[in-house]
């Protein structure tokens, strides 16, 4: 890329409110790579929670809000695979079902400029080594939306492998961690059973840190590991990439 | 209108209303999958033998001249002394007593015999499958079902590589009204802890004799 | 289902034997399916073709059904139409009565389980014998199916041994070896196959072009039931029709590999009407609606009818593989059940099922006809909210959250008051969350506060 590529950050309401370090880390990484980062402050929530909970009207209204807020941005970066999946895939289908043709068009237009963080780094900037240093054993958990939704494939792993000092362990379990938005509370027992198996797989790696590209899944895994006093921390991939020697 | 014709009319009416606009647009089916394989005759037969054996069919390969002796030897090993043959199955293993299913034997009688001898219409290499089509060479369906041992002669020339090739080859038989049975290995169940167990209701032993004519 | 999925699932999770059985079985079958699919280089092309054929069927369903009817009747079969389960049951019962059948053989048919045919036959004094190994297990145990393909997946071998010793083995001791258990079933059922002249089957596919019906199976009970009796009645959902003979070349590849992870299942029987001197002298095909035309009317939900009952989505589902099939309260369990049951029965009858999923997408990835179950679940959640309603607390919480999230000022005020993390929604979520998980501490500063400060 030539010049200073501009990246508008869609931080997500979840990170903004509960995990601001993920947003800060994303900014750090993007700026280190020479991006000019913008944060349109009118952004709130992309509507995923409402939409996936069946409150489609509200979910689509919030998605429409995101379309408006980011209308002028050439490239939008989001450190959440599930929010990207919602805006790019689910919301347009629900909008089409609701007959909101303008919103479908707006979402499709946004979808073409919207990148999940690892997509932005690997595909848009063409970078794998972001100059990070993190001398720890790290287990990578492929979240459902990154693995099966966005099909990020090797991108997160390529980024992690390029981190100085990092000892990468892959979690031998591609099942869902059990978060699933309201599923985690509506079906708390099933969610907990899924989490138990995921925690066992994470612990089996002997890693000190479990990472992923969705803060929501990390809240589930981290919440379980914390309760179990497992001695394994969770960190968003962006937070690892932001670390330097 | 009778209840039956009312039900018919109502289901068709409901279905027509339900599909609405979608009914007007023809859907094109992309058939980009492999319809034919690339192996030669030898390769096809090799693959067929390997795949059929994978599902625990016993596979034997012979030249035509050796078939009768091989059948006889195998029947002797399996102690299959009383056999029934499909009407046009010409094989008569020495040492076994062979009844021909013409006129058809009662099912209870078939149940008392040691085994059945038949040919097959088509064999599919990729899946290790033989297909029976109810012709005099294959026999009616009950014939190859009730006895516990099925000795099936497969002509190498009838081995195709892929499922689409087999389905195409069977089209004339189906158009003529023939019943088909696809057989891949002996009868099996996976109902107990997903473990495949050979032999439930169909023949518990499937012996395939692949022959170059 | 009255109790709903949540409480049924909780109960199932408490059964540790069930959980072990399910974990073991689904782990085995997942690996087998993955291997069977991996060796097919044109798998994606087959899936695309399968999905398109099914979409074409739905778009022309009335015409395909009429073609099928004509072809079956031209070949000596008789076609019946049933708007609902009661009509189908009456058709089968009347046919059995007309032939003086006091017993009927059945080869596994989820469709007849859906309409509770066995109960209807019993009410008419007719005894139905299930002949599929697992269906036999369930029938003997007074239990019901928990898996589309392996209906007794929730049972292990020692449970089956004990059951057989108490029933068909008539006091004989049995070995726990699956081979011995299968042999016990063979002995018991062979007598019935040779004696009972009336059978009822389901159908995997029916070809409109040729009037051919296909039953895909493993054990040979399907062959027995469709070949030995004098009279065969097949009960089939109207969505199972395929337009052309050629279409089978796709599904005979997709189904066995997705279902049992085999290149081909042991037996597939295909017949067309009545064949002189071979098989039943009378063949009846019952075409069943029972809610299917309602499913067809939902543009986004319609694809649930594309299902070929392979059960790949069950096996890969992290929810199903932990709670088993019974929690879904339907003969169609797992992800496909979660979208099919509410549509077939009507949303008020199964309003919790669309939430029986974390939307992880494993089902879509495994589905051989690419049914987008996750999107369909989200779609049905919306329909349930609109047509049935949501619990009041949840409705209020989502409304409050929307009010906050749809306005920057309110959103930032809520953040400053730390209410977004600890507000109405958090209150609703906190209790079930905190039973097994720590809640994150609200950070001292939000992202946007940091951004503003940074200038």
> What CATH number corresponds to the domain at position C179?
3.40.50.10420
Same domain, C6 and C46: no
* Mean pLDDT of the region A222-244: 97
Is C399 among the domain residues?
no
Question: Domains in chain A: how many in total?
Answer: 2
In C, minimum Cα distance to B194 occurs at C25
Measured between beta carbons, the chain A residues lying within 8 angstroms of C319 are: 187, 190, 194
Residues C228 and C305 reside in one and the same domain: no
| Judgement on whether residues C253 and C343 belong to the same structural domain of the protein | no
* In a shared domain, residues C414 and C266: no
Residue C394 located in a structural domain? no
- How many residues comprise chain B? 213
State the pLDDT confidence band at C165, using cuts at 50, 70 and 90. Answer: very high
Distance between CA atoms of residues A62 and A78, nearest Å: 16
Q: Which residue has the tokens 């969610």?
A: A191
**The pLDDT of residue C2:** 45
Length of chain C: 455
Percent of chain B with pLDDT over 70: 100
Best CA proximity match to C131, nearest among B116, B189, B182? B189
Q: Is residue C281 part of a domain?
A: yes
Instruction: Tell me the chain A residues in contact with residue C429 when contact means C-beta distances shorter than 8 Å.
Output: 182, 184-185
**Whole-number pLDDT of residue C53:** 98
Residues C324 and C438 in one domain: no
Q: ipTM score here?
A: 0.97
Pair C310, C250 in one domain:
no
pLDDT band at B192 (very low <50, low <70, confident <90, very high): confident
Of A16, A58, A176, the CB nearest to C398: A58
**Chain A partners (3+ C-beta pairs within 8 A):** C
- Over the stretch B86-136, which tens digit does the pLDDT of each residue have? 999 999 999 999 999 999 999 999 999 999 999 999 999 999 999 999 999
Cα(A214)–Cα(A80) distance, rounded to whole angstroms? 5
User: What number of helices (H) and strands (E) belong to chain A?
Assistant: 14, 8
In chain C, which residues have their Cβ closer than 8 Å to the Cβ of A195? Answer: 436-437
Q: Is residue C5 part of a domain?
A: yes
In 3D space, the residue among C224, C235, C264 whose CA is nearest the CA of residue C96 turns out to be C235
A167 shares its domain with A193? yes
Q: Report d(CA B99, CA B87) in Å as an integer.
A: 9
Asked whether residue C232 falls in the same domain as residue C198, the answer is yes
Put simply, the answer to whether C382 touches A54 (Cβ < 8 Å) is: yes
What does R_g of chain C's alpha carbons equal in angstroms? Answer: 25
Q: Mean pLDDT over residues B142-152, rounded?
A: 96
Q: Report pLDDT for A1.
A: 45
DSSP secondary structure code for residue A146 in this structure: I
A51 contacts on C by Cβ (under 8 Å): 378
Nearest-CA distance from A57 to chain C in Å? 9
User: A150 and A113 share a domain?
Assistant: no
Helices A215-227 and A188-204: crossing angle in degrees, nearest 10, is 80
pLDDT band at A3 (very low <50, low <70, confident <90, very high): low
Strand partners, A7: A37
**Spans of all domains in chain B:** 52-188+197-212
Statement: residue B26 has pLDDT above 90: no
Q: Are C251 and C312 in a shared domain?
A: no
Q: Strand pairing partners for C213?
A: C206, C271
Q: Cβ of A149 and C361 within 8 Å?
A: yes
For the segment C427-447, the average pLDDT, to the nearest whole number, is: 85
Contact C368, C308 (CB under 8 A): yes
Number of independent structural domains in chain C: 3
Give CA–CA dist C416/A205, Å, rounded. 39
Checking if the pLDDT of C77 tops 60, the result is yes
Neighbours of chain C (3+ CB pairs under 8 A): A, B
Distance between C150 CA and the closest CA of chain B, angstroms: 6
Closest CA of chain C from A168, distance in Å = 24
Task: Answer positive or negative: Cα dihedral of C277, B150, C205, C377.
Answer: positive
Residues A111 and A157 in one domain: no
Rounded to an integer, the average pLDDT of C226-250 is: 98
CA C425 to CA B192: how far, in whole Å? 46
Show which of A100, A124, A148 is a domain's final residue: A124
Check residue C3 and give its pLDDT. Answer: 65
Question: Where residue C420 falls among pLDDT bands split at 50, 70, 90?
Answer: low
Chain B residues with CB inside 8 Å of C31's CB? none
Tell me: pLDDT of C393 over 90. no
How many other CB atoms are there within 10 angstroms of residue C299's CB atom?
A: 15
Mean pLDDT confidence for C331-343: 97
Laid out side by side, the sheet with B97-100 consists of B58-63, B205-212, B149-155, B115-119, B82-85, B97-100
B and A touching (3 or more beta-carbon pairs closer than 8 Å): no
Q: Confidence band (pLDDT; 50, 70, 90) for C427? A: low
Distance (Å, rounded) from C-alpha C388 to C-alpha C133? Answer: 39
In CATH, which superfamily holds the domain spanning B52-188+197-212? NagB/RpiA/CoA transferase-like (3.40.50.10420)
Shortest Cα–Cα distance, B155 to chain C (Å): 20
pLDDT of residue B137: 98
pLDDT-wise least confident of B27-41, C18-32, C211-225 = C18-32
Q: What is the pLDDT of residue C452?
A: 96
In a domain, A131, yes or no: no
Do C213 and C286 fall into the same domain?
yes
Contact B189 C133 (CB under 8 A): yes
Residue A184 lies in a domain: yes
Q: Are residues C91 and C131 in the same domain?
A: yes
State pLDDT tens for residues C85-118: 999 999 999 999 999 999 999 997 899 999 999 9
pLDDT class of B7 with cuts at 50, 70, 90: very high
User: What's the mean pLDDT in A67-94?
Assistant: 97
The answer to whether residues C220 and C259 belong to one domain is yes
Judge whether residue A181 has pLDDT over 70. Answer: yes
Residues of A in contact with C360 (CB under 8 A): 144, 148, 175-176, 180
Range of the domain at A220: 137-242
Starting at the edge strand found earlier in the chain, the sheet holding A167-170 runs A167-170, A137-140, A209-212, A233-236
Name all contacts of B93-98 with Cβ < 8 Å and 24+ positions apart: B93/B68, B93/B117, B94/B68, B94/B69, B96/B72
* A205-219 residue pLDDT tens: 999 999 999 999 999
Put simply, whether A38 touches C (Cβ < 8 Å) is no
Which neighbouring-strand residues pair with B195? B192
Residues of C in contact with B177 (CB under 8 A): 75, 272-273, 275
Distance between CA atoms of B56 and B185, rounded to whole angstroms? 6
A10 in the same domain as A103 = yes
Residue partners of C20: CB distance under 8 A and separation at least 6? C156
Confidence of residue B48 (pLDDT cuts 50, 70, 90): very high
Show the domain range for C79: 40-290
Q: Give dist(CA B33, CA B162) in Å, integer.
A: 11
Is C60 within the bounds of a domain? yes
Q: Do B65 and B49 contact (CB within 8 A), yes or no?
A: no
Q: Are C306 and C51 in contact (CB under 8 A)?
A: yes
In a domain, A107, yes or no: yes
Residues A119-142 as b or e (16 or more Cβ within 10 Å = b): bbbbebbebbebebebebebbbbb
Q: Facing residues of C271 across strands?
A: C213
Q: What is the pLDDT of residue C154?
A: 86
Q: Nearest CB to A185: which of C433, C442, C451?
A: C433
Are the beta carbons of C301 and C376 closer than 8 angstroms?
A: yes
Provide the 10 A C-beta neighbour count for residue C262.
Answer: 24
Same domain, C267 and C330: no
Q: What is the rounded CA–CA span in Å between residue C307 and residue C54?
A: 9
Pairing of strands B129-132, B180-183: antiparallel
Q: How confident is the model at residue C422 (pLDDT cuts 50, 70, 90)?
A: low
What is the rounded average pLDDT for all residues in chain C? 93
Residues present in chain A in total: 245
For a pLDDT cut of 90, what percent of chain A falls above it? 96
| Candidates C42, C157, C246; nearest CB to B167 | C246
Mean pLDDT within A62-86:
98
- Judging contacts by C-beta atoms under 8 Å, the chain A residues touching residue C437 are 192, 195, 220, 223-224, 226-227
Residue of chain A whose alpha carbon sits nearest to that of C359: A180
Q: Which residues of B86-95 are buried (b: 16+ CB within 10 A; e: fewer)?
A: bbebebbbee
Across the interface, do C278 and B142 touch by the CB < 8 Å criterion? Answer: yes
């Amino acid at each position: 890329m030539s010049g200073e590529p501009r990246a508008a950050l869609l931080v997500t309401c979840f990170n903004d409110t509960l995990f601001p370090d993920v947003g800060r880390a994303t900014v750090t990484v993007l700026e280190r790579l020479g991006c000019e980062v913008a944060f349109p402050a009118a952004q709130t929530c992309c509507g995923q929670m409402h939409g996936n909970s069946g409150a489609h009207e509200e979910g689509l209204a919030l998605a429409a809000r995101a379309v408006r807020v980011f209308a002028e941005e050439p490239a939008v970066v989001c450190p959440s695979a599930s929010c990207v999946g919602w805006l790019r895939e689910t919301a347009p289908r629900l909008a089409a079902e609701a007959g909101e043709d303008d919103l479908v068009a707006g979402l499709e237009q946004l979808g073409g400029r919207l990148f999940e963080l690892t997509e932005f780094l690997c595909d848009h900037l063409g970078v794998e080594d972001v100059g990070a240093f993190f001398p720890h054993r790290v287990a990578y958990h492929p979240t459902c939306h990154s693995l099966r939704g966005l099909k990020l494939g090797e991108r997160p792993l390529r980024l992690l492998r390029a981190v100085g000092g990092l000892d990468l362990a892959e979690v031998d379990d591609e099942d869902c961690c059990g978060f699933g938005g309201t599923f985690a509370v509506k079906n708390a027992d099933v969610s907990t059973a899924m989490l138990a198996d995921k925690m066992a797989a994470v612990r089996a790696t002997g890693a000190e840190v479990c990472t992923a590209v969705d803060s929501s899944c990390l809240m589930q895994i981290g919440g379980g590991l914390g309760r179990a006093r497992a001695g394994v921390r969770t960190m968003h991939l962006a937070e690892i990439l932001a670390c330097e020697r | 209108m009778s209840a039956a014709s009312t039900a018919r009319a109502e289901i068709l009416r409901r279905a027509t209303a339900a599909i609405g606009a979608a009914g007007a647009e023809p859907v094109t089916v992309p058939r980009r999958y492999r319809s034919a394989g690339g192996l030669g005759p030898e390769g096809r037969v090799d693959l067929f033998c390997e795949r059929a054996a994978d599902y625990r069919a016993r596979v034997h390969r012979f030249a035509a001249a050796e078939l009768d002796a091989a059948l006889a030897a195998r029947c002797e090993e399996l102690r299959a002394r009383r056999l029934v043959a499909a009407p046009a199955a010409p094989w008569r293993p020495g040492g076994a007593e062979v009844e021909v299913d013409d006129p058809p034997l009662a099912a209870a009688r078939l149940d008392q015999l040691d085994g059945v001898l038949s040919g097959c219409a088509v064999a599919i290499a990729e899946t290790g499958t033989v297909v029976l089509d109810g012709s005099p060479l294959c026999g009616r369906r009950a014939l190859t079902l009730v006895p516990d041992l099925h000795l099936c002669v497969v002509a190498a020339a009838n081995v195709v590589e892929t499922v689409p090739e087999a389905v195409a080859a069977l089209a004339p038989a189906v158009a003529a009204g023939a019943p088909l049975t696809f057989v891949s290995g002996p009868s099996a169940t996976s109902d107990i802890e997903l473990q495949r167990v050979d032999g439930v209701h169909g023949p518990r032993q499937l012996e395939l004799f692949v022959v170059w004519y | 289902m009255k109790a709903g999925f949540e409480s049924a699932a909780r109960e199932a999770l408490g059964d540790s034997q069930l959980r072990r059985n399910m974990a073991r079985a689904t782990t085995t079958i997942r690996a087998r399916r993955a291997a069977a699919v991996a060796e097919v280089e044109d798998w994606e092309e087959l899936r695309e073709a399968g999905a398109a054929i099914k979409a074409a069927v739905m778009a022309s369903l009335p015409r395909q059904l009429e073609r099928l009817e004509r072809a079956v009747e031209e070949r000596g079969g008789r076609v019946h139409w049933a708007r609902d389960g009661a009509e189908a049951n009456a058709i089968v019962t009347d046919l059995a009565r007309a032939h003086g059948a006091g017993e009927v053989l059945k080869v596994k048919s989820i469709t007849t389980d859906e309409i509770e045919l066995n109960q209807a036959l019993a009410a008419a004094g007719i005894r139905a014998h299930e002949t599929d190994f697992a269906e036999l297990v369930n029938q003997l145990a007074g239990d019901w199916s928990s898996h589309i393909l392996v209906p007794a997946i929730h049972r292990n071998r020692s449970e089956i041994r004990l059951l057989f010793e108490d029933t068909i083995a008539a006091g004989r001791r049995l070995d726990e070896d699956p081979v011995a258990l299968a042999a016990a079933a063979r002995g018991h059922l062979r007598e019935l196959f040779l004696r009972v002249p009336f059978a009822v089957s389901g159908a995997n596919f029916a070809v409109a072009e040729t009037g051919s019906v296909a039953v895909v199976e493993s054990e040979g009970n399907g062959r027995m039931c469709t070949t030995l009796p004098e009279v065969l009645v097949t009960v089939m959902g109207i969505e199972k029709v395929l337009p052309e003979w050629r279409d089978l070349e796709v599904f005979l590849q997709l189904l066995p590999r997705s279902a049992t992870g085999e290149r081909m299942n042991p037996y597939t029987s295909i017949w067309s009407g009545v064949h002189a001197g071979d098989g039943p002298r009378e063949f009846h095909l019952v075409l069943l609606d029972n809610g299917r035309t309602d499913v067809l009317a939902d543009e986004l939900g319609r694809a649930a009818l594309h299902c070929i009952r392979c059960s790949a989505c069950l096996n890969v589902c992290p929810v199903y593989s932990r709670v088993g099939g019974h929690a879904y309260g339907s003969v169609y369990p797992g992800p496909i059940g979660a979208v099919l049951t509410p549509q077939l029965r009507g949303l008020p009858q199964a309003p919790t099922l669309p939430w029986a999923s974390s939307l992880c997408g494993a089902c879509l990835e495994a589905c051989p006809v690419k049914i987008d179950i996750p999107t369909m679940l989200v779609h049905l959640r919306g329909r349930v909210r609109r047509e049935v309603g949501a619990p009041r607390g949840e409705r209020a919480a989502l409304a409050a959250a929307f009010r906050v999230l749809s306005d920057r000022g309110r959103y930032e005020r809520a953040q400053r008051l730390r209410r977004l993390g600890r507000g109405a929604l958090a209150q609703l979520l906190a209790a079930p969350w905190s039973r097994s998980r720590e809640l994150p501490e609200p950070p001292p500063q939000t992202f946007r506060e940091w951004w503003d400060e940074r200038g």
